[in-house]
Structure 1
Amino acid sequence: MGHHSCTCCCAHDNAQPKNTPGNTGFLKEYRRILLSALLLFGGIAMKAMNISFFSDDTVVLVWYLLAYLPVGLPVLKEAWESILRKDVFSEFTLMSIATLGAFYIKEYPEGVAVMLFYSLGELFQDKAVSRAKRNISALLDVRPEKATVIRDNEAVTESPRNVQVGDIIEVKPGERVPLDGTMLGESAAFNTSALTGESVPRTIRKGEEVLAGMIATDKVIRVEVTKPFEKSALSRILELVQNASERKAPAELFIRKFARIYTPIVTGLAVLIVLLPFLYSLANMQFIFTFDDWLYRALVFLVISCPCALVVSIPLGYFGGIGATSRLGVLFKGGNYLDAITKVNTVVFDKTGTLTKGTFEVQSCRTQHGVSEEKLIQIIASAERNSTHPIAKAITGYTEQRRISFVPTAEVTEIAGHGLETKIDGQRILVGNARLLSKYNVEYPQELSKIADTVVVCAIDSAYAGYLLLSDTLKEDARKAIEDLKALNINNIQILSGDKQAIVTNFAEKLGVTQAYGDLLPDGKVEHIEELRQNDGNRIAFVGDGINDAPVLAFSHVGIAMGGLGSDAAIETADVVIQTDQPSKVATAIRAGKQTRRIVWQNISLAFGVKLLVLILGAGGLATLWEAVFADVGVALIAIVNAIRIQKLIK
């Protein structure tokens, strides 16, 4: 919210962050307002009591000028600066014309009151905006100030900013992990609520990732640092939320464009309020034109026309929505996405890691051509060893459990959507799905295609050697996710997966989803979304794990990533990141968007409705400057309170 026309309450945003508790600028603002208020109400009291000292016109003018300057000068200065920037019809110009006009017609108390209440309203608005920003930051900025680094077997306390990648840090029970790293001990439990909003402890084992912001709960742990302080998952999430304000929602952009047209129009109407009765008096001698009376009406009209409530309450509404959802573990990258999600009528889910846990377990092993079970597991695990895919991790974990050693591999090539090709002891090894064997013309038993669970097949030198059978399980809230979406009248729910159609259909039936598509390569998912987008009526949200689904996330109207405690690709590509990895949060995100939008439009309707009413009364001479200023500041404050209410509504 920088300098632009009609940003009454946002004028200071580009300056140093003043108006924050403990800040000298904040105290200075209060001092100016208190001084002005004392002089204004003192003057009104002396006038009411007919004090002789206050009967002299010069004394009265000087008194009210002293009351006006503390609150009026900053606005006059802003008006002059905006005129120099060719922004003639700014909020500050409106206020300056209205108050100088009031002094011209000797309505001094009212001229001072306009500036006083305007400044007070602006102070409250600044405070509310900075509070909303602080709340958002405070939700996530739980990074520790100190890190215990182990150097030469001694514990040294350092600032996390000075800790290098590769250093070993120690975290005691109850302490927060200061940096991202790899677990060195066998296993430990962590509270991940700062990252996910979930208080259920999570067990992390040796070699797995530990993220900044987690709290060690049961033992002293050691972690090898893998990322510098500013690149930790928590730092990136914090930066993402703080930058969310830069992406404006259509309602915000509309108000800005509207303000640029609206302000010159109301200024022109204010001139006409004086000019038309004057022209009428020339044509009709019986009509007596009193310049000061009509000027007063024009000034009332100008004050009421300030779009203060709109300019501040709308961004504040979106700030509130972003803050409230981030507390629930749903991160919106901007107000525009909070707005876009309200229009979603089609939700497409990736299956693995989104609706299912993505934690596969090896169920059984089948071999052929005299290959032993141990040998088959060894070959498949060695080929998959460096892959980050959930299936590969399950196989390598299972191999370690059975204490089967790995063998060196050479020339590992990944074939997207099929599997891997590698060499072990000079033999060409194929590890992947049945499609991979078909691609290389390797014959395999046809019953493989009928197995509903996941199979990882293996061929040694073009001869089929056997397979491992794995199965995945639905997430606890997967069914609830679908039910909640249906409750929001979203009935076009689809599942896309690279898994076999039989597996995908099986999961879809359990969830009550009728449209489920399997055997899709990453390109196939993009083509499917393209087809859906050809119907202009479809507003599509794609929900994926953000790693292999990056193209589809980017291509849908709203890309929602299962952040998995903040995976890089998820945070980079998606418009919305669900940190808790719970698919049911998709419905929470849509509900939050709708509630935010409802409150924003309540504020727009309230501001327009009240202003229109008082504008008509002002033009007709039925409203005074006092009513005008109370209408403007009052509406702004009601709108602010309504915007802050979002924090309580979104649960």
Structure 2
Amino acid sequence: MSHTHDKEDSCCSSKAHSEAQHHHGHDHSHGEDDAHDHDHGGDPSAFQTYLPAIVTLVMLLIGIAFDQLFKVHAFQIIRPYWYILAYLPVGIPVLREVWGTFKAKDFFTEFSLMSIATIGAFAIGEYPEGVTVMLFYTIGELFQMAAVNRAKRNISALLDVRAAVAHVLRNGKYETTDPEKVEIEEIIQIKAGEKVPLDGVLQSEKSSFNTAALTGESKPKTFYTGETVLAGMLNLDQVIEVKVSKAFADSALSRILKMVQNATARKAKTELFIRKFAKVYTPIVFFLALALVTIPVLILGSEYHFQTWLYRSLVFLVISCPCALVISIPLGYFGGIGAASANGILFKGSNFLDLITKLNTVVMDKTGTLTKGVFKVQKVASKIDETQFMQLLTAVEAKSTHPIAKAIVAHAGKLEIHPAENITEIPGMGLKGMVKGKEILAGNVKLLAKFNIDFDREIATIEESIVVLAVDKIYAGYVLIADEIKEDAAEAVKQLHKSGIGQVVMLSGDKTSIVKKVATTLGIDSYFGDLLPEDKVAKLEEIKKDKDRVVAFVGDGINDTPVLAISDIGIAMGAMGSDAAIETADVVIQTDQPSKIATAIKIGKATKNVVLQNIILAFAVKALVLILGAGGVATMWEAVFADVGVALLAILNAVRIQKMKF
């Protein structure tokens, strides 16, 4: 059919994780993402994770009580041995790490700083301080591990909703099998209360689904015969049948899981800087501590007291450990990715969380992004009986697969249709056929002109797509067909302007007159219509010539893929978008709501603020206590706060992102 309607087609350091691995007998690994996989929440072995810290804490408190409170004389005999025993449960895993890093020729790590500081404290008889430093260091590690696991659980609870089994129709009966073993085109049955195991086309009349796992939306959505349902949706109503359209590995849910799992691999610039900073910072700190214990002997001479300056040096080492930075910054970005997932937005890396805060220009596709991409009959203007009009029009359109033809057939509903005969296509104009002996013409106004049929001239000025009908060379009326604007599209544009986006642009392959109408309705700054895919690329490249612009492109179709690829940030509408668009994009909006673009910007800004707060907190406190420590004012107890205390505060601040409402 040839209607001319123009529809367009963490954590940075090895310390933060590998120690956790050693607590459980895993091989030494510096890979941060591997360590994320150790989720102890609800695990029977979780108690064993905390046992070393508990044993050390109990022994330390008993030792301090006998030492300071009760002043038991007999305890003084076993005092060093008691504190050494208290030290071992938390000290051995760290000392093992030191050995592992030394073998890898990596001498300056947080492990070595902590080990030197605590062993040095033992050497000068400051046993409780030595045990306390290592204990709090370990507690900081456990807090960090719990925070990462919580962020992972938030994502997993949202996404890990894969059905364990599929009921597939084979040899006339349903058999239960693994979803991975189901072939494309096979029919599966899903009972009420069961999850959809694979993407497919609904064969039953209709059913309601909870789509929260994929979109973050808790409101149930009704799907009808012929519509696509996705793996991970929860069937709410009745027993349904679905024809499988994609293999398990290619399902929308599998793609989403893969995106989230890979998200932590793409680091933000701040994370990458902190990793490099820690590698340079740690050896500098070590040599400064060494200078603090050696240089005063040259200045003070006979007044130099080795034990005093060694203690100050050890305090300096503990204070300067970069735990707060290397733990909290990646955790902040991880929390941001988790918060976005809970809102139905998938960032493919923390670098895009950073970049989205710098956006000042958003370029959007029209169909499927700002509009629903579903054509519907908006108006029937007939000069004959409307039922007869729709019967005749539907008769010639019934066998066409064109979106406009489908809209006409859907509008006709259950009207009795007499099939058309001798249907022929007139290229660029429409169709001709015979229905009950009458010659029917259906198409655009060019078709009427071709056959010299008189019609109301004002219909030529209608902006929307129309299909005219003529019966036996007499004009009988038209149907007006249009795409619907999404409910939140106007609010989306308004929120983007509020978020600091200076320019919202719409590019479309649709008629410029229609594009103008949509742009005016939504308050879009500028628009361009009648664009082919290559025209969209050229237009975006033109926009990007201004070097001050950071540009996002939002689209959903295969023809949007090149534009998504060349934009600074590609944002795809994920629920109904094409696979190619979703694969190419940097951010995927699972709800298909354009208003989520502003939400993504808010989450990016909140994440950046939390990361900045943590950097300022860590540097400010450490700088202050370092000065006090070098001057002999700060003790090992203040050092513990400057290191572990600040790390814990930073972790709690990072976790806060997941509690925020966007």
**Same-fold status (TM-score > 0.5):** yes
SS of residue paired to 2:558: coil
Map of 2:325 onto structure 1? 310
The answer as to 2:139 corresponding to 1:120 is: yes
Deviation, structure 1 residue 155? 3.9
Shift, 1:571, TM fit:
2.4
SS of structure 2 residue aligned to 1:207: coil
**CA offset digits 1:151-179 (Å, max 9, x no partner):** 44444333434433333222223332222
The alpha carbon displacement at 1:324 in A equals: 1.5
Matches of 1:533 and 1:512 in 2, distance apart?
A: 22
Aligned partner (choices 34, 43, 49) of residue 54 of structure 2:
34
Change (3 A) 1:392 1:608: farther
Instruction: Report how far residue 514 of structure 1 moved.
Output: 3.1
- Give the 3 Å change call, closer, same or farther, for CA 80–25 of structure 1 in structure 2: farther
Pairing 1:106–2:119 present: no
Q: Distance in 2 between matches of 1:219 and 1:517?
A: 46
- Counterpart residue number, 1:228: 247
Select 1:555's aligned residue among 555, 558, 566: 566
Structure 1 equivalent of residue 551 of structure 2: 540
Name the residue aligned to 1:239. 258
Separation of aligned partners in 1, 2:19 and 2:540:
40
Matches within 5 A, 1:474-553: 474-553=485-564
- In structure 2, the gaps of 5 or more residues are 1-9, 22-31, 383-388, 434-441, 447-455, 470-476
* Equivalent position amino acid for 1:493 in 2: V
Residue of structure 1 in register with 2:464 after alignment: 453
Amino acid at match of 1:620: G
Amino acid at match of 2:629: G
- Encode CA deviations 1:440-490: one digit per residue, 9 max, x unaligned: xxxxx99998541136899xxxxxxx9985311211111101111111222
Aligned residue for 2:75? 54
* Aligned length, in residue pairs: 613
One of 146, 152, 157 as aligned partner of 2:176: 157
Q: Which residue of 1 aligns with 2:271?
A: 252
> Given the alignment, which residue of 332, 335, 347 partners 1:320?
335
Distance 1:393 1:544, change over 3 A: farther
> 1:346/1:420 Cα in 2 relative to 1: closer, same or farther (>3 Å)?
farther
Paired position in structure 2 for 1:82? 101
Q: Identity over the aligned pairs, expressed in percent?
A: 55
Give the distance between the partners of 1:354 and 1:237, measured in 2 at CA: 19
Deviations 1:256-297 (A, max 9, x none): 111111111111211111122112124xx6xx1111111111
Once the two structures are superposed, residues 362-392 of structure 1 have per-residue CA deviations (whole angstroms, 9 ceiling, x without a partner) of 45699xxxxx999987777756x2x7xx557
Shift in Å, 1:361: 2.1
Unpaired stretches in structure 1, ≥5 consecutive residues:
367-371, 414-418, 425-430, 436-444, 459-465
Q: Which amino acid aligns with 1:51?
A: V
Higher alpha-carbon deviation: 193-202 or 38-47: 193-202
Q: Give the Cα separation in 1 of the matches to 2:110 and 2:651.
A: 18
Question: In structure 1, what is the Cα distance between the partners aligned to 2:528 and 2:656?
Answer: 42
Q: Distance in 1 between matches of 2:545 and 2:36?
A: 48
Partner of 1:462: none
* C-alpha distance in 2 between matches for 1:408 and 1:74: 83
Distance 1:407 1:340 in 2: 58
Q: What is the CA RMSD across the aligned residues, in angstroms?
A: 3.6
2:386 matched residue in structure 1: none
Q: Which residues in structure 2 correspond to 1:168-567 (within 5 Å)?
A: 168-282=187-301, 288-362=303-377, 385=401, 391=404, 393-394=406-407, 397=410, 403=417, 450-454=461-465, 470-565=481-576, 567=578
**For 1:15-58, what per-residue CA distance to the aligned partner results, in whole angstroms no more than 9, with x for missing partners?**
695461354653323221122122222222222223232222xx
Q: Cα deviations across residues 34-90 of structure 1 (Å, max 9, x unaligned)?
A: 22122222222222223232222xx32222211111111111111121122222211
Q: Is contact 1:237-1:566 (8 Å) kept? A: no
Q: Distance in 1 between matches of 2:36 and 2:575?
A: 36
- The aligned residue for residue 151 of structure 2 is 132
Report how far residue 564 of structure 1 moved.
2.2
Name the structure 2 match of 1:598. 609
CA–CA distance in structure 1, aligned partners of residues 338 and 576 of structure 2: 18
Correspondence for 2:437: none
The residue aligned with 1:369 is none
TM-score with structure 1 setting the length: 0.85
Aligned to 1:440: none
| Structure 2 equivalent of residue 634 of structure 1 | 645
Taking the aligned partners of 1:157 and 1:513, their CA distance within structure 2 comes to: 51
* 3-state SS of paired residue (1:505): helix
Cα deviation, residue 328, structure 1: 1.5
Distance 2:525 2:55 in 1: 69
Cα distance in 2, alignment partners of residues 617 and 133 from structure 1: 39
Distance 1:102-1:410 versus aligned 2 partners, 3 A rule: farther
CA distance in 1, matches of 2:13, 2:248: 36
> 2: distance between equivalents of 1:18 and 1:580?
30
Letter in 2 for 1:568: D
**TM-score normalised over the length of structure 2:** 0.84
Q: How much has 1:2 moved relative to structure 2?
A: 8.1
The answer as to whether partners of 2:376 and 2:482 remain within 8 angstroms in 1 is yes
